[in-house]
Amino acid sequence: MNTAERLDGRALSYIAIALITWSSAYAAIAYALASFTPGEVALARLAIGSLCFVALLWLRRAALPRRSDWLQLAVLGVFGLTVYHLCLNYAETRIASGTAAILISLVPAVTAALSAFWIGERISARSMLGLGVALFGVVLVVLTSGREVRFQPMAALVLISVLASAVFFVGQKPLFARNDMVGVTTFGFLAGTLGALPFGLGLPHALAAAPWSHIAALIWLGIAPTFVGYLSWNAALKRASASQVTSFIYFSPPIAVLIGWVWLGEQPGWLTLLGGVITVGGVALANAKRRPSTPVEPAVNSVAAKEC
């Protein structure tokens, strides 16, 4: 990892904003699917997010990425955004929420592996152990929180989403070093929106027939989890390594349980709380810094010092 990269307070605040906004996306998607197809939800979400990013790009007078990076960004946008959101939306119509939560939690491990092979990020044995411990905590949280878990063929779509997400996070990372972060994010979202266009051609008709509450869910998806969430996430990715940042995705299920406890009065059992503690411990272990070893003074020098 570059020595200039660090998981500092600002990076942690960006990650917190992204996770909080992303945690609202699953419920909003399920709500919007009552009036829109999965393709229409993906197109609306990406289009609204793209409009927000274009406005930010114009306000900041930020530069677009280098032309030599356009092809890579276009591929990343289509795979990491179009494919990710289409697969996730279609999966939400068929599979249990607990199943999706467990499978999505594989993103940090896949990202860590891709980071090591693709961009050469060093992943220590302690970090891999921490990721494994955190994953165990997530599974414990999901299994004991009452969420339904059933593994079925449609769950393969979530695994595609996991791979698409990891490729998107890792592929963008080197581009931030030579381009403006807002420019990179905007270009990727424009490509992702164009990729989703063939799957949401019925969106204008669906908008005319949908109740306002379902349209509001689309607007929320485009602004909060998409624009604010991805902007915050990419700001964190620019400051720290991809494997470090994505390890915090393990906090999503515990955050959902916490929101249900505070907001809906759904008191979790002690095993669920234990799973949350294990998750926190695993993420802390994965991001713990190794203490530099204290150099041992040669015996000859110490003897000479005594003689003096």
Q: Give yes or no for a contact between 148 and 95, defined as CB atoms under 8 angstroms apart.
A: no
- For residue range 192-251, list pLDDT tens digits in order: 999 999 999 999 999 999 999 999 999 999 999 999 999 999 999 998 888 889 888 888
Closest CA to 101 of 26, 41, 50: 26
Q: What is 38-70 written as a DSSP string?
A: HHHHHHHHHHHHHHHHHHHHHHHTPPPPPGGGH
pTM of the model: 0.82
Measure the CA–CA gap between 165 and 206, rounded to whole angstroms.
28
Closest CA to 257 of 97, 142, 135: 142
State residue 277 phi and psi, 5-degree precision.
-65, -40
Higher pLDDT, residue 39 or 286 = 39
Higher pLDDT, residue 96 or 240 = 240
- For residue range 252-266, list pLDDT tens digits in order: 778 777 766 775 576
Which pLDDT does position 5 carry in this prediction?
Answer: 64
CA angle 211, 221, 78 (to 5 degrees): 120
How many CB atoms are closer than 10 A to CB 248?
22
- Retrieve residue 306's tokens: 């005594």
Which pLDDT does position 204 carry in this prediction?
Answer: 95
